[in-house]
Amino acid sequence: MTGTKRVVVVTGASGGIGAALARRLGGRGDRLVLAARRADALARVAEEAGTDALPVVTDVTRRDEVERLRDEAVRAFGRVDVWVNNAGRGISRPVMELTDDDFDEMMRVNVKSALYGMQAVVPHFEKNGSGHLVNVSSFLGRVPLAAHRSAYNAAKAALNALTANLRVDLRARHPGIHVSLVMPGVVSTEFAAHALGADGPAPSPAGAMRPQTAEEVAVRIEDLLDHPRAEIYTNPAGPEIARRYFEDVEAFEVEAAREAALAASAPDRSL
């Protein structure tokens, strides 16, 4: 859809990757419907994104609000061309310390919200014969190398599977509908500050990634919208680290554990 004005819905748009993507797409003339719970922050992003940006305060963990978001987009612009499920939340708690509430919250925010988005917009795409669904996951859903993210990693792995299943379901019947998975690595945003539990130091597994900015990730997603693909790693190091992980999971984990132990025993050089 290069060169056309798309109608794009972005959830989790009040900050981080969602806000950066909104500003980029608004700058090129796309018409935007931006969703998040924080009304003031969402309104600021909509203003920065341009005159064709509609903020819709939405709790994406509620199915009825996600359906209302779709309806508001269609009411305002007549259709939806792209839907980006970007809302998410992290956790910093090892597996053995997880509570029922921890696990339920990770699944509710990271998986069920995206499922609601998929089930809300795909029938609209089917009716129109085209559309692009983008689910923003995490590299940790593919390579769970940060053990303290525990249930977050599990939720993103579930999102990866749902995305692939939907893509297979639609491929034969609706070739004009694209379903894409985006897997950012380490991103410099306020994400960690909003995670459940006290955040620990970033892991240092074999082949650690250079952190990206939200803008760098947004550039990759923008390119994905212009050139749809099944999956992308936004960090250039992602494919090689994933290859090494699946080539020999045990060896990778042994090295990651060794490096984590070395990092934990190193003197604090932050002062």
State the angle between helix axes of 150-173 and 113-128 in degrees (0 to 180), rounded to the nearest 10. Answer: 10
- The SS3 assignment for 54 reads strand
Six-digit token string for 246: 């699946």
Q: Are 97 and 118 in contact (CB under 8 A)?
A: no
CA-to-CA separations, 73 to 20, 79, 269, in angstroms, rounded: 20, 7, 50
**Strand ranges (DSSP E) for the chain?**
7-11, 31-36, 53-57, 82-85, 131-136, 177-183, 187-188, 212-213, 231-233
* Structure-token match 């009040």, residue found: 14
Q: Which residues are catalytic?
A: 152
Kindly state the greatest CA–CA separation across the chain.
Answer: 60
Six-digit token string for 210: 């250079």
Dump the DSSP string for 216-264: HHHHHHHHHHHS--SEEESSTTHHHHHHHHHH-HHHHHHHHHHHHHHHH
